[in-house]
Amino acid sequence: MSEEPRARRWLRDADRHAVAIRAARAVRRLAPGADVVALPGSDRPSDRVARLLEEAGGGRPSAARELGLAAVRTWQAFSRPGAAGGEVTILFTDLVGFSSWALDAGDDSVLRLLREVGDVTGAVVSRHGGKVVKSLGDGVMAVFPAAGAAIGAAAEACTAVSAITLDGYRPQLRAGLHTGHPRRVRGDYLGVDVNVAARVAAAATAGEVLVSGPALATVDAAGYVVRRRRRFRAKGAPRDLEVYSVVPRHT
């Protein structure tokens, strides 16, 4: 028997092995977006591929088909209308020095503080027209339709959080934001612009609001005290990205 038929038989057996099929189905369930729906008569490339995968193998269980449908599901999630979304401003916050304090504070105090910080930050974000996308432990990721609202929320949140006192400890929030066109997937936002916003936030100091150049360009700078942060370098951010420390003049 030649090597080619033997290899082909091995691949066929592996494709139909129960363990491989269960693993492939798990991958398909975890893929972003809704499960694959091939619209009848649709000429979309993803629908054509989905129909070919569904018809392949005469309906027999197949690990390769499950993985193929997982890939199509991801493809449809990122390419469907509205997936890219419009322009938004992404805000990240976190507590400075929190980890060191938490080591000695104890779980009860840590949880109480995180609840208070989360409640205060969430209320401020909502009041400024933003939406908290997810909690990040000692901070949040939020999105706003405009950079001005995000800056106002970030500055107010830093002030409000600094007023919290727990057993003599006063938390200090920092914030960073960037404006761009991230992809919206299942209520989350993904892409380079999200990474840039996170990098900007990580460079902020206690009580500081750092704003990327693209975000600052969308607001009237006369309403803020602006200081350029020089020598900003962060992995994953454009080398020519300019970042500014910004304080609303009315605060």
In a shared domain, residues 72 and 93: no
Same domain, 110 and 195: yes
Residue 80: predicted pLDDT: 45
If you average pLDDT over residues 127-137, what whole number do you get? 93
State the pLDDT at residue 167: 83
d(CA 86, CA 118): 27
Task: Count how many domains the chain has.
Answer: 2
Nearest to 225 by CA among 151, 174, 157, 153: 151
Same domain? For 32 and 94 the reply is no
Contact (CB, 8 A) for 237 and 206: no
Domain boundaries, position 194: 88-248
CB of 96 within 8 A of CB of 174? yes
Which residues does residue 248 pair with via DSSP β-bridges, in sequence order? Answer: 224
**Of the ranges 15-19, 66-70, 100-104, 138-142, which is most confident?**
138-142
Q: Are residues 123 and 141 in the same domain?
A: yes
pLDDT in tens, 26-69: 766 666 555 544 544 445 566 666 666 666 656 677 777 777 77
CATH number at residue 216: 3.30.70.1230
Q: For residue 96, how many C-alpha atoms fall within 13 Å in the half-sphere facing its CB?
A: 18
State the average pLDDT over residues 171-182. Answer: 95
Task: Say whether both 236 and 119 belong to one domain.
Answer: yes
Which of 58, 79, 100 is at the close of a domain? 79
